[in-house]
Structure 1
Amino acid sequence: MTEFGLRKPGSVLGFSNGNADQSVLALIPERNPHYVFQPQQLGIMTIWWEAAPDEPLFISGPHGSGKTSFVNQFCARVGAPVVSLTARSRLDRTDLIGHYIIDKDKSMRFVDGPLTRAWRYGMVFLINEMSAAPADLWLSVNELLEGSPLFIEATGEVIKKHPRARIVMTDNIRGMTDDSSGLYLGRHLQDPAVMDRCWKLRMEYIDASAEMKLIESQIPDIEVHGMTLQSWKKEFALRLRKAAAKVREAYNGTPGVQPIEATISTRVLLRLKDLLIISGRSGRLSVREALNWALRIALTEAVDRTSALTIEKIVEAELGDICTHLAAP
């Protein structure tokens, strides 16, 4: 499991792509050497990957918790190409299977959809925001969720599922449970018959130590003063993660604190890290101005003023003077 950054015995079934078409190989995700896998989620993914190739994996979790990146980084390490699709309200079966187009010479040509490509070439079909599509769409492909051959009505072709083909679905809500937070608009509860066919994996924001390690690993080697670079990286990652934790607490409803309408996801946290370094090294802004500039771009321009002020206050209190150690390039 060392390929996944875990010091434990064991291996994961990988793919040999020696005879694959270059257009298929190009869809193998690029490996991020700094990505941090969580052992529990990786364990479930690995068992599903090897034991249930004919059943989909359904991954739920809050926005920015790393669902898509988790799948892509897993596939990068096992050499699996990924064809992805983001669901929407008007998605229909032809968007998955394929349709005819008119070529330049006016002839008609059938173009495979992402599900057909996965079945034909042995790819992972990654469906993001599953519940944004009508529930009856997934009912219409129930047989394919069980690994059955794919029949293309438009051409009469029958495609047996490639042994490597997999389906992964991600969503912010849990499938058969409504979004009680009201954060995710236009979502559809899924039919029990569909969800019954899926393995389930839940992802929350990664734990403190892993998130700090992730932040620290993605800080470039820059010039700082008043402390060593390694010490600064560790302290900066620690404070930034504490700030994110406090914002998340406020977002989830901390007693005595005005609720806010946005949170700092891991995705936003990494964006904020970059912006704080850029603004702190500019030498043109005060510490507070640099912080507010970074926060506005990373998150707060999209929220109400009360939420923005609350977030700014929390982050400023946790970061303190750590950005004053940044030296101008």
Structure 2
Amino acid sequence: MTQITQAFACADDLFGFPRFPDNVREASRFPMKNGPSLFVPDRDDAYVFRKDHVRIIQFWAVGAEKNILLQGETGTGKTSLIEQVAARLQWPTFTVGCHGGLEFQELIGRVTLQPDGSTGWADGPLIAAMRNGGIFLLDEMNFLKPEVAGGLNTVLQATSYTVPETGETVWAHPDFRIAATGNAVDGVGKGAYRGTQTPNIALLSRFSLGIRVSYMSIQDEQKMIEAKAGGIAPSVSAYLCELADMVRKSHAEGALKAPMSPRETISCARRLTAYSGNLTGDDAVQAQCNSMANALEMTFLFRWAPEERQEFLRAATSVAKRLALPIVLE
């Protein structure tokens, strides 16, 4: 099969960084597909890339390494990182949400009934990515049963796969890539992710490239919130980011039951803008501050037990006082 990568683009143009010096730009090139494809993820222009992530992703994108593993807490953006890189490179992505009931055969494909009444083979996501030159994305890999993970050991280093049902040998396209994400892959904090399996050494050794994804900085998260929740007051978005940072640190120390993910800060900001409507300036700030308790409750706190909820609200009130915002939560 002929490789269809046609062009290259520099990382600063692709990922929204300030222009690199000319002597650096040439070394920051990424291969572009000549798409479009139905399987390319939607582009999110509010997504904020981190240079340290992009440097590692480049080894994977150019094919220096075929497999990459991203691990980190829930909500840190592991899956989004792969999807948003793929969106900018026009790279087809075949995603599998891993779970305890997933069978290896579902990744390969199956014999199905055709429109004319005959039977024929339908590629699963792994074979589709291998055949067409796309990304096979295993989301939350450590939910896989050991026997399914064991079946992947060979595929992760293979250049071909023979389909038992048809006898066809599918040769891996030069642009075939594998990405996997997981929570507590290193075993730290595993108790917070019920149902996860500890991947065996044989499987992990197939991933010789990886990223430990942490939560984004307060500044980057604020930039993303303001891009996704138009109308949020900057002082209020700053409060949400400071609050989320406090919650994550308290969770890591065992003081609070769960972290506050970027998904939840964005949802909360959108609800606040709904409360403030068309107000602007100080009126918008006041309306959003007045609505904070309701927005947090319907977005995040409704899942918490009363005593844990009160502990969160006391800490959140202290953040509001530190930032001199008229937010009353207790």
Q: Give the shorter-chain TM-score range.
A: 0.7 to 0.9
Partner of 2:297: 296
Aligned match of 2:61: 49
Structure 1 counterpart SS, 2:291: helix
Q: State the distance in 2 between where 1:210 and 1:264 align.
A: 15
Deviations, residues 193-229 of structure 1 (Å, cap 9, x unaligned): 111110221101011221222222333147xxxxxxx
Q: CA deviation at 1:266?
A: 1.4
Match of 1:13 in 2: 30
Q: CA deviation at 1:297?
A: 2.3
Instruction: Please state how far the C-alpha of 1:290 moved relative to its aligned partner.
Output: 2.4
* Residue 296 (structure 1) shift: 2.3
The 1:286/1:73 distance shift into structure 2, 3 A limit, reads closer
Normalised TM-score (structure 2): 0.83
Structure 1 partner of 2:111: 100
Q: CA deviation at 1:181?
A: 4.8
Whether the aligned pair in 2 keeps the contact of 1:97 and 1:116 (CA below 8 Å) is yes
SS where residue 193 of structure 1 aligns? helix
Partner SS, residue 70 of structure 2 = strand
Counterpart in the other structure of 2:259: 263
- Please report the RMSD computed on the Cα atoms of aligned residues, expressed in angstroms: 2.5
1:98 partner letter: G
Higher relative CO (Cα under 8 Å, sequence separation at least 6) belongs to: 1
Consecutive unaligned residues of structure 2, counting only runs of 5 or more, are 1-10, 280-285
**Cα deviation code 1:218-265 (max 9, x no counterpart):** 33147xxxxxxxxx42x22222211111112221227xxxx2212211
Correspondence 1:196 to 2:226:
no
Q: CA deviation at 1:171?
A: 0.5
2:27 aligned with 1:31? no
2:126 to 92, 115, 118: 115
Question: How far did 1:72 drift?
Answer: 0.8
Q: 1:74 to 1:51 in 2, by over 3 A?
A: same
Whether the 8 Å contact between 2:98 and 2:138 is mirrored in structure 1 is yes
Q: TM-score, normalised by structure 1?
A: 0.83
SS across alignment from 2:62: helix
1:84-141 deviations in whole A, cap 9, x for unaligned? 0111112121111011223465432221100010011111111101010113312213
Superposed, 1:1-329 pairs within 5 Å as 1-2=11-12, 3-7=14-18, 8=20, 9-10=24-25, 11-17=28-34, 25-53=37-65, 55-103=66-114, 106-174=117-185, 177-198=186-207, 199-221=209-231, 232-233=233-234, 235-253=235-253, 259-281=255-277, 290-319=291-320
Kindly provide the amino acid, as one letter, of the partner of residue 15 in structure 1: M
Judged with a 3 Å threshold, the aligned counterparts in structure 2 of structure 1 residues 164 and 181 are, in CA distance, closer, same or farther, namely closer
Match of 1:83, SS state, is strand
Q: Secondary structure at the match of 1:71?
A: helix
Instruction: Describe the shift of the 1:166–1:102 C-alpha distance in structure 2 as closer, same or farther (beyond 3 A).
Output: same
2: distance between equivalents of 1:205 and 1:46?
Answer: 21
Paired residues of 1:119 and 1:161 also in contact (CA < 8 A):
yes
Residue identity over aligned pairs, in percent, reads 24
Match of residue 5 from structure 2:
none
Report the number of matched residues.
301
Question: Does the CA contact (< 8 Å) of 1:280 and 1:323 recur in 2?
Answer: no
- 8 Å contact from structure 2 (residues 141, 180) kept in 1: yes
